[in-house]
Amino acid sequence: MKNRIKISSIISILLIIINNNLFSQDTNPEYNKNTVFITVGSFGILGGANLNYERFIFKTNKSILSSFWLKAGGGYWYEWVDNGTQFYISAEGLTGHNNSHIEYGLGITSLYDAESYRINVSNYESGHESKRPTKWGETDITAIGNLGYRYQKPKGHFIFRTGIISTPIALYISLGVVF
């Protein structure tokens, strides 16, 4: 229950930010506003692949935060013997105003552990567990963070990203389109 309240609070805050910026006029747009990209990554015993959507929210004249984006995605993850699906939402900041950027972000992710669920269902059906497992019981909600390099021309249509993310992909590379 506490996780659902935390998720609801974070989503509400992000929706307020989006709402305040989506309806403002940008008379000189410097960025294409939508990005779709595929991310793959690994670090030995953990990794995964995701499909991502990112939306440009606003730009600034600051060098430490030149633009602000919201990102959502989902895909497959693995870690040693566990695996499953992942969904997340995060806020992303970019530095610089040219083609090369440092990108950083914070967000939340849900990691569903399909392998643990399968094992627990098998244990329940064989009588070793008294309570039927739920998929929600095998889902972890956790914070995520990333730091990386991003190549994106301000009005270009190609994006390349590489860096490190805290959960679960580790070292990643991304390719995508901006429109």
- The yes/no answer on whether domain 2-14+25-178 falls in CATH 2.40.160.20 is yes
Q: How far apart are CA 95 and CA 85, in angstroms?
A: 31
User: Residue 145 is encoded by which pair of tokens?
Assistant: 């963070």
What's the alpha-carbon Rg for the chain, to the nearest Å?
Answer: 19
Q: Are 50 and 39 in contact (CB under 8 A)?
A: yes
Over residues 145-174, the pLDDT tens digits come to 999 999 998 888 999 999 999 877 789 999
The predicted pLDDT at position 23 comes to: 45
Over residues 110-130, the pLDDT tens digits come to 999 999 999 989 998 988 888
Per domain, the residue ranges of the chain are 2-14+25-178
Mean pLDDT to the nearest integer, 84-96? 96
The predicted pLDDT at position 5 comes to: 56
Mean pLDDT to the nearest integer, 44-72? 93
Over residues 1-26, the pLDDT tens digits come to 555 555 555 555 555 555 544 444 44
Whether 54 has a pLDDT exceeding 90, the answer reads yes
